[in-house]
Amino acid sequence: MLIRQTVDMSGVGTSDFRAVGELAGRGLAATTSLIRDTHVAIADRAFTLSGPAAKPVHVAHDVISRSVYATVGGGLRVAGALAGAVAAKRSASAPSSVVVGALNGAWGDRLVQWSSPLALSMSLRHDDRDLDVDRDALAEAYPDATGDVAFFVHGLCETDASWRLGARDNYGDARSTHGERLRSECGLTPVYVRYNTGRHVCDNGDDLAELIGRVVGEWPAPITRLTLIGHSMGGLVIRAACHRAVAEERPWLPLVKRTVYLGSPHLGAPLEVAVTRVGVALDKLPETKALADALASRSVGIKDLREGDIRPLLETAVHYYIGATIGRRNDTVAARVIGDALVPWASASGTGKRRRLALDVDRGRHLGGLNHFDLLNHPRVYEVLKTWLSE
């Protein structure tokens, strides 16, 4: 499915164009290695079948082909770095949030290992920039701050800018979000979180627990209630943060009165299960092992979606959930298998055959005819949120 998003973000310096170029060069070189390994494996099988007489040709073939692939891979690395340097000189704007979010979702754990400047960290965001978590900065950013605060936590391969998806088409305002409308109509103060979705869900949960504690401690008004709203993986990160808060008896935990899950894969994502099975199958043959290795290089954040989350729900909060399906009904084979194109209805509602989550059916809502990304900023979704969160 092709999702078009035109929102860009600032706050990433021109040096990051060099990083993008270097990363692209590394990716192209890795692709060259993948082709090389597949080529060599196929050639090995062919030469083996040809018998001992083909041994001299086999040796020569391997020496030449490996040399050629090494030269091409090195050249692509250099080309990527040069392209990044040129882009950095020609433009002072930041890479699209779509690109940065996608890179972190796909290889975020690797970006951390490589000390890449593109590796995102858990941060509070305001006007597309990182916001210092101190009382003066928060008071300046939120001059009308209330004690009713809602944290918005995005999903896999997304950033805080993803909450504006479709805003111009749906509302005629490119910056309109669920949070901004809840501020004007329900009195909630929305705060947005950005994080590296390629890291383990539990690690991001630990960081979110820490961030919430800092915000609560520095908030310019006494906080009376916290609402945690997560899209897709964001819902699992919220659950992980609450689990950490319970274990460590964090002082902000009693303030969490409500959580809202928008298409969160509580019971896992079938697509990740399928990719895992395909990778196992490809790994059995030398000709396709390189493809299996490429699939296995996906981030640990993606792999965490295989089983969803087995942690219990926070007992002291009221839990709401919205699940979408491409079709109009949620009791069809398509709803069970495809769901909203990424998360099936059973996983979003916690109503699987083998596992069930104690989500109250009276606090859940099925929205037919929508896809996974519509949950970020669609009018039908907002009307449900408004009804729940204005109570």
**Which residues 6+ apart lie within 8 Å of 92 measured at CB?**
14
Please give the domain boundaries of the chain with CATH numbers for all domains: 15-95 (no CATH), 123-273+296-389 (3.40.50.1820)
71: Cα within 13 Å, side-chain hemisphere: 6
Distance CA 356, CA 354 (A): 7
Report the pLDDT averaged over residues 238-254: 97
- Angle between helical axes of 233-248 and 201-218 (0-180°, round to 10): 70
How far, in Å, are 27, 104, 309, 370 from residue 202 at the CA level? Answer: 27, 16, 10, 29
Q: What is the mean pLDDT of residues 292-301?
A: 68
> Distance (Å, rounded) from C-alpha 154 to C-alpha 233?
7
Tokens 């949950």 belong to residue: 375
Contact (Cβ atoms closer than 8 angstroms) between residue 62 and residue 72? no
Residue 286: pLDDT band (50, 70, 90) is low
Higher pLDDT, 340 or 296: 340
pLDDT higher than 90, residue 359: yes
pLDDT at 160 over 60: yes
In the structure, how many helices (H) and strands (E) does the chain have?
A: 14, 8
* Better pLDDT: 136 or 98: 136
* Sheet strands (E) in 113-155: 123-126, 129-130, 148-153
pTM to 2 decimal places:
0.78
